[in-house]
A = this chain, B = another copy of it.
Amino acid sequence: MATAAPLTPERILEATEEVLRRHGAAKATVVDVARALGVSHGTVYRHFRTKAELRGAVTKRWLDRTSVALAGIVTGSEPPEAKLRHWLAGLFDAKQHKAGDDPELFATYTVLTEENGGVVNDHIAELTGQLTAIIQQGVADGDFASPDPALSARAVFDATSRFHDPCYAPHWSRPGIDEAFVAVLDLTVRGLRA
């Protein structure tokens, strides 16, 4: 079953996510992905050399959806404190949606992130890098005080773990979670103020 559209890495990753959604992380195979695309599994392996590489790439794509959306906040024109609040609320909102809108796919990606520690570390470095940029701007504007913006960024990221770390996903739909988030957000922002 040949297909007319050119076989790009992005199309393979789309098909992989669909196969993961249908079969789960344990059962999804490269043969399933190839079948969904109407190509041989050898063709898939020309783009991703191993099953592990394909799983790492689809995990990265899933995580990138969040960091790409947040990058727009970093480069926006809001003052630093509003930007920081907006960014942290955006991260929490993205995670709540990922976990709540499609819990099975979220569980599948939770398994995949556990087997792709390097991809996750790069993602965390990307996110804390964005936070560092916001804090640096706040220091430059005289709104924030921080002798080491990268360390402060890591502290802000760690202090808000309850609202983005998948180990807390079952909490994100509980009553009171938004009030708890705002309380931590206020504490964190106050902690950065000059």
A interface residue numbers (CB < 8 A to B): 151-152, 154-156, 158-162, 165, 167-168, 179-180, 183-184, 186-192
> Per DSSP, are chain A's interface residues mostly helix, strand or loop, or mixed?
helix
Contact A154 B167 (CB under 8 A): no
CB-CB under 8 A from A183, the residues of chain B are 151-152, 154-155, 158
User: CB distance A180 to B161 under 8 Å?
Assistant: no
Q: Other than A161-B168, A165-B167, A187-B191, give 11 A-B pairs with Cβ distance below 8 A.
A: A151-B183, A154-B183, A155-B186, A158-B183, A159-B159, A159-B184, A159-B187, A167-B167, A188-B191, A190-B190, A190-B191
- Give complex CA distance A172, B54 in Å: 31
What residues of chain B lie closer than 8 Å to A180, measured between beta carbons? 154-155, 158
Chain B nearest CB from A103 CB (Å) reads 18
